[in-house]
A and B are shown apart, each in its own frame.
Chain A
Amino acid sequence: MLYTNLKHIETAADHAKVISENENVMVICGRMGPMCIPVYGIAEEIEEEYKHVKFFDMEFDNPQSHVIRNIPEVKGFMGIPFTIYYKNGKVVKATSSIQTRAQVTAILDKEFAAPVNA
């Protein structure tokens, strides 16, 4: 079980709902380990600043996470977390292993530019 302060995705159906109902979504699929925790921490801290992005996590060992583990964008990934960025339900970016805040915000700024007057 992931005990982060992020919203959790538990099922493939939840995952489909989340990415279809929200324009900009970041999902961190991992475990409670040293490569994943810093990425959850970054997401928790920037949630307030990036109000136009919805942040979620999903447990890597949950069989339902096949919706992330089996997508073509993660082929060749050999380090968790798998972090997936969705725009209007489509994958626009995926990263493997630990990331810095600068790396995460660079992707968010590029892929999910904030709306004017946000």
Chain B
Amino acid sequence: MLNSMNSNNHYDAIVIGAGPAGLTAGIYLSRARLRTLIINEGTVGGQMVLTHEIANYPGVESISGYQLSNIMKKQAKTFGCDIKSNISIQNIELEGELKRVTLQDGIIYTANSIILTPGGRSRTLNVPGEGKFKGKGISYCATCDGDFFTDKEIVVVGGGNSALEEAVSLTKYASKVTIVHQFDHFQAFEHAIEEARNHPKINFIMEATLSAFRGNENLESVDIKNIKSGEISTFKTDGVFIFIGYIPNTEFLKGKVELNQWGEIVVKADMSTKLEGVYAAGDSTAKRFRQVTTAVGDGTVAALAASNYLHEMKSKLKNLIPA
């Protein structure tokens, strides 16, 4: 333990995730002169980096998520925070005074406190052919790829606000849009449902799921399974847009920290978990509202609580050393 703590791989705090919650925690911890490392699996900025325009971040009239992410990253680095991104975590040990994070490349980092901010990601269908036809008929972004489907017949999968709004937006390009949804009703706001229902280019297949994507070079058809009867039929289509919600990136935390039924991390008001020295913040926590501002607020609270914990820990250790 002492060897680990004296090495360059030991930090006061490790933050898992570099979205707005993680970067804010990194800024606060580093500014408090605590040696801090942020480890991030994807691109720095998390979901925020993908937002075209942020117009409700107080003090900033309008900024792209990309630019705001870059500023937060720069701030954290300026205060001395180390950031390692686009790297996977192989194992994480959260119990006890010394926390341990093993990365995919085998390097181990230790810390006295951990702040979990892994965020969330778009859900995928995870059925045969999805990987093969990504970018060759399957898309997750109407704004990005809609124009490739001009005058083509497409399928939209999902029944929430994103699915219905994007289906309507795709009618600007596609000749026909078929919405496939697993339930007999939609989860979207009434106005979004009404707009989709009244659109002459939009059709619906309810209580059904996609069970396979088929084609040669490009997507040519999908298998649609009727949930009630189990019957599978072939549906010819030029493209499929998938909007089936977000899931928290907490698979690696199963059995390590308390998660609720949706896989979200359960935290108290000070963002602490039931494990000593372990905090969580941002979109991966159990809460109602998910905004950049709420993530930043959560990250601040988690960092201050972790700072306090680390300060008390250091004081305790100091008192143990005889004068």
Contact A79 to B136, CB < 8 A, known contacts A4-B66, A34-B50, A41-B49: yes
| Of the residues A32, A35, A45, contact of B64 by C-beta under 8 Å | A32
B51-80 residues with Cβ-Cβ distance < 8 A to A are 52, 64, 66-67, 70
Please give the distance in Å from A11's CB to the nearest CB on chain B.
22
Chain B residue at smallest Cβ distance from A2: B66
Q: Are B42 and A36 in contact, CB atoms less than 8 angstroms apart?
A: no
A13 within 8 A of B: no
B52 to chain A: which residues have CB within 8 Å? 32-33
Q: Are A3 and B140 in contact, CB atoms less than 8 angstroms apart?
A: no
B43 within 8 A of A: yes
Please give the distance in Å from A41's CB to the nearest CB on chain B.
3
B86 to chain A: which residues have CB within 8 Å? 41-42, 45-46, 101
Contact A41 to B135, CB < 8 A, known contacts A33-B141, A80-B144: no
Please give the distance in Å from B241's CB to the nearest CB on chain A.
11
B44 to chain A: which residues have CB within 8 Å? 41
A70-116 residues with Cβ-Cβ distance < 8 A to B are 76-80, 95-98, 101
Count chain B CB atoms within 10 A of each CB in A33, A80, A97 and give the residue with the most. Answer: A97
Interface size class of B (residues with CB under 8 A): 20 to 34
Q: Are A96 and B50 in contact, CB atoms less than 8 angstroms apart?
A: no
| Of the residues B50, B67, B218, contact of A3 by C-beta under 8 Å | B67
| Of the residues B70, B135, B218, contact of A95 by C-beta under 8 Å | B135
Chain A residue at smallest Cβ distance from B142: A33
A5 within 8 A of B: yes
Within the assembled complex, what's the spacing in Å between the Cα atoms of A34 and B218? 22
B31-46 residues with Cβ-Cβ distance < 8 A to A are 42-45
Q: Which residues of B contact A (CB under 8 A)?
A: 42-45, 49-50, 52, 64, 66-67, 70, 85-87, 134-141, 143-145, 148-149, 217-218, 239
A3-B64, A33-B141, A96-B134 are known contacts; what are 19 more A-B pairs with Cβ within 8 Å? A3-B66, A33-B143, A34-B50, A34-B140, A34-B144, A36-B144, A37-B66, A38-B50, A41-B42, A41-B49, A41-B85, A78-B218, A79-B134, A79-B135, A95-B135, A97-B139, A98-B134, A98-B140, A101-B87
